[in-house]
Structure 1
Amino acid sequence: MSAPLADRMRPQTLDEVVGQRHLIGKGAVLRRIVESGQIPNMIFYGPSGIGKTTVARIIAQSAGKQLFKLNGTTASTADIKDIVAQTNTLGGLGGILLYLDEIQYLNKKQQQTLLEFIENGSITLISSTTENPYFYVYNAILSRSTVFEFQPVTPEDVAAAVKRAFTFLEGERGVKLDIEEGVIEHICLSCGGDVRKSLNAVELCVLSAGEGPEGSVRVTLDDAKAISQRSAMRYDRDADEHYDILSAFQKSIRGSDPDAAVHYLARLLTAGDLLSPCRRMLVTAAEDIGLAYPQAIAIVKACVDAALQLGLPEARIPLTEAVILLATAPKSNSAIMAIDAAMSDIKKGGVGEIPAYLKDGHYAGAQKMGRAKGYVYPHVKKNHWYDQQYLPDPIKDKKYYAFGDNKTEQAAFQYWQAVKGGERKE
């Protein structure tokens, strides 16, 4: 069985790698490091299919060291020790470079074993991971490595790889390809920045192609669409992409951009994730709209309940209504600012004894202990308010809530200014 197309035409130099110009373009930092000949310990982080393994292999091959390769899904502690043992052989005199793919799958003990040999200089490590290394890689290894983040490849850059792949297959199979207009563009747009995925689509298009004019092989747009459908979006409910989309979703609502908010909602729903946007919208209604439009959370809750009862695809309708409502509503974060300030004070010890007249007086003996004595019931006073101290003495002058500058909170501010601004009303 032949190797995948992505392996058969894998780039051999940095100039042949598609994308990642911010790292390996002329004058870019990673390229300068490689050209210096002094290879540090490095971690390549980013989604699959964008060149991490390819770049690591090119660097390893140019390093002048004995190269070993391991995969975190199958490597054992014994495998690591066997490689380190090669430092005492003739081949290891120039140094050993270990390329470790998917380092996040090594357990803590394995990573600690690896650390020992990184620290004493026995090996140079180049590792790659699709997961955020700051969550999954042992801190001591992180502190001794430089992390380089790889980005999804743009459709424009993918186009070069797709065209080269069709040309490669023409030569490999000895046929003339008749490629329908729009095929290359569709593959580039549908691969979601994953070069490997785009090359797999190219190979499948050729394998499934029918006869074309004058003995050629016809690659149609319909075939390309069938092969690459629903492949454009990266999404994993337990990985960075999930939280990045949710973060962009809430920030778009907070920023009052309904178009962006609907876009990110669509990405979540297209991935079949119904619960995450529901929860995030309820949080956003309280955190970012808050008292500027207090009814928002009740409306969003109704939309969320309707969506959960309907299920997808109909759930998209009430959720979109809720998202647009939130994005176009006035904004206030006065409530969250108030509670966060109060909790911060409490954690710092800003508590104090509750005034005796505020304590519970509904039990035998409470009066003898001075509980609830002197409390004034505000509802018997004018405007249902009486000027008395509610905070403990040590923090009696603390102010946690500041009225927002929106219409609703300003109306409340004006009301209480009129009530509290005069003399005490008996």
Structure 2
Amino acid sequence: MEPDLFTAAAEDRQEKDPSSSPLAVRMRPRTLDEVVGQQHLLRQGSPLRRLVGEGSGPAGPSSVLLWGPPGTGKTTLAYVVSKATDKRFVELSAITAGVKEVRSVIDGARRASGGYGKETVLFLDEIHRFSKAQQDSLLPAVENRWVTLIAATTENPYFSVISPLLSRSLLLTLESLTDDDVRDLLRRALAEERGLGGAVTLPGDTESHLLRVAGGDARRALTALEASAGAAIDKGEKEISLATLEETVDRAAVAYDRDGDQHYDVASALIKSIRGSDVDAALHYLARMIDAGEDPRFIARRLMISASEDIGLADPAALPLAVAAAQAVAMIGFPEAALTLSHATIALALAPKSNAATLAIGAALEDVKKGVAGQVPAHLRDGHYKGAAKLGHAQGYVYPHDVPGGIAAQRYLPDGVEDRRYYTPTRYGAEARYADVVEKVRERLRGEGS
């Protein structure tokens, strides 16, 4: 099996007839300088630059792990490395390939190297789909430098890639493309001859919607552009209208601007719908944010805030659930992160509500800002230093664990605020238990009751 022969044939066809390839392939960068985004990896002297032979430093490891969301350029970078280093480029997907296919490529790489001195770049997409045994099969080729392995994953490699391979590889983390990055790519694709060569134009409203459709995914953006451009040309139009784009990608333009008022309006509506326990409204606004390409981490942060601000001790499990959702979102990204965000949104919307924790810290902060603070009572001060006893610090402090019930009758609040009551629990959900407990505790602290 020689997959590189098919790759070479495809490249030869593209050079002879560029229009035979998809726009995303035609616009694939040919050098690192043409890559959009990922500037943190492309600076002069970076490991990636050294890998392609730029600069005077060592080339570094012969194995690279590219970790990032879909459409951020993992395949592109592997292709550019092969071109810049004049190496054969062989691409496999862990979804369809197995150990047999990997060994075939490695055997072909050894023959090519020994037969005509041509080294090989093996790009293995979605390496996290390989089992431990399958990943183990790559180690000899990496250690002996039979191939330059460039493996891509959308999952955290510390969890999904075996330690021996991880330790032998240069790990590069790719970031989601910004709207400016994708906009630059779209405009180049519209103008350059290898792209659409000026056949159509893209007005501002259509471009804005296309950016939302893309959601930071360059491949998705170029695919949608190519399809809508073809539809516009078929209609005899020189401009891709918003209606044509919507028809092509089968999505309605959502009234949502990630950088404008709509961004905050929809986010506000999501939180207020959760606060109001309207699960259907909450899901509607969540869907609008997802469809508009909102950063899932932004949504997850809002849900964590809501868990404390609007639910609090009425359901103490709400905050851990929201935190777990945020961690999952950071690890998996879209599209699967939509399921996690839906899970958390539904749970928060249907949870009992209490803003008692919010009001409590607000009242305490208001006193502090007004200067209503007072000195820390002497018996609560630190007594772990020489001379503390002479100052009366920590003297008379009653250790709560030494008294029945674990609550000692002593004062904790400083002078001037000793009668303040910041926390007023509700009777909703689990907080009803705290409402029963808090007054009994306060009585015991004052020495009232048994």
- How would you bin the TM-score normalised by the shorter chain? 0.5 to 0.7
Deviation at 1:148, TM superposition (A): 1.5
The correspondence for 1:78, drawn from 94, 100, 106, is 100
Cα pair 2:192 2:198 within 8 Å, conserved: no
Q: Closer, same or farther in 2 for the Cα pair 1:173/1:24, shift >3 Å?
A: closer
Deviation at 1:130, TM superposition (A): 2.3
The correspondence for 2:131, drawn from 107, 112, 125, is 107
CA–CA distance in structure 1, aligned partners of residues 442 and 355 of structure 2:
31
Deviation at 1:296, TM superposition (A): 8.7
The two structures have a TM-score, normalised by structure 1, of 0.57
Cα pair 1:288 1:332 within 8 Å, conserved: no
- Partner residue of 1:193? 216
Q: Closer, same or farther in 2 for the Cα pair 1:324/1:415, shift >3 Å?
A: closer
Q: Aligned residues, how many?
A: 313
- Note if 1:330 corresponds to 2:358: yes
- Partner residue of 1:266? 285
Cα pair 1:43 1:126 within 8 Å, conserved: yes
Q: Counterparts in 2 of 1:49-128, with a 5 A limit?
A: 49-85=71-107, 86-87=109-110, 89-91=113-115, 93=117, 95-128=119-152
- Partner residue of 2:367? none
Residue 184 of structure 2 aligns with an amino acid whose one-letter code is: A
Q: Closer, same or farther in 2 for the Cα pair 1:183/1:4, shift >3 Å?
A: same
3-state DSSP class of the match of 1:135?
helix
Cα pair 1:187 1:201 within 8 Å, conserved: yes
- Note if 1:133 corresponds to 2:161: no
Listed as ranges, the gaps of 5+ residues in structure 1 are 234-248, 273-279, 299-314, 334-386, 398-403
TM-superposition CA deviations, 1:301-347 (whole Å, max 9, x none):
xxxxxxxxxxxxxx9999886689567952899xxxxxxxxxxxxxx
Residue 159 of structure 1 aligns with an amino acid whose one-letter code is: R
3-state DSSP class of the match of 1:218?
coil
- Partner residue of 1:354? none
Residue 74 of structure 1 aligns with an amino acid whose one-letter code is: T
Residue 9 of structure 1 aligns with an amino acid whose one-letter code is: M
Residue 406 of structure 1 aligns with an amino acid whose one-letter code is: Y
3-state DSSP class of the match of 1:165?
helix
Q: Counterparts in 2 of 1:196-215, with a 5 A limit?
A: 196-209=219-232
Cα pair 1:257 1:327 within 8 Å, conserved: no
Listed as ranges, the gaps of 5+ residues in structure 2 are 1-18, 255-266, 292-299, 319-342, 362-401, 409-420, 426-433
Deviation at 1:25, TM superposition (A): 4.0
- Note if 1:38 corresponds to 2:59: yes
Deviation at 1:138, TM superposition (A): 2.1
Deviation at 1:224, TM superposition (A): 1.6
Q: Closer, same or farther in 2 for the Cα pair 1:168/1:87, shift >3 Å?
A: same
- Note if 1:19 corresponds to 2:37: yes
- Note if 1:406 corresponds to 2:434: no
3-state DSSP class of the match of 1:182?
helix
CA–CA distance in structure 2, aligned partners of residues 296 and 113 of structure 1:
47
The two structures have a TM-score, normalised by structure 2, of 0.55
- Partner residue of 1:9? 27
Deviation at 1:218, TM superposition (A): 3.4
Residue 91 of structure 2 aligns with an amino acid whose one-letter code is: K
Q: Closer, same or farther in 2 for the Cα pair 1:135/1:417, shift >3 Å?
A: same
3-state DSSP class of the match of 1:187?
helix
Residue 358 of structure 2 aligns with an amino acid whose one-letter code is: P
Q: Closer, same or farther in 2 for the Cα pair 1:421/1:326, shift >3 Å?
A: closer
TM-superposition CA deviations, 1:248-282 (whole Å, max 9, x none):
x9xx98xx999xxx99983368769xxxxxxx9xx
3-state DSSP class of the match of 1:109?
helix
Q: Closer, same or farther in 2 for the Cα pair 1:81/1:271, shift >3 Å?
A: same
CA–CA distance in structure 1, aligned partners of residues 285 and 128 of structure 2:
30
- Partner residue of 1:336? none
Deviation at 1:159, TM superposition (A): 1.0
Cα pair 2:65 2:169 within 8 Å, conserved: yes
CA–CA distance in structure 2, aligned partners of residues 217 and 291 of structure 1:
53
Deviation at 1:179, TM superposition (A): 3.9
Cα pair 2:228 2:245 within 8 Å, conserved: yes
Q: Counterparts in 2 of 1:281-320, with a 5 A limit?
A: 288=308, 293-294=313-314
Residue 19 of structure 1 aligns with an amino acid whose one-letter code is: G
Residue 178 of structure 2 aligns with an amino acid whose one-letter code is: T
Q: Closer, same or farther in 2 for the Cα pair 1:196/1:328, shift >3 Å?
A: farther
- Partner residue of 2:258? none
Cα pair 2:37 2:178 within 8 Å, conserved: yes
3-state DSSP class of the match of 1:330?
helix
- Partner residue of 2:187? 163
Residue 33 of structure 2 aligns with an amino acid whose one-letter code is: D
- Partner residue of 1:148? 172
CA RMSD across the alignment: 5.1
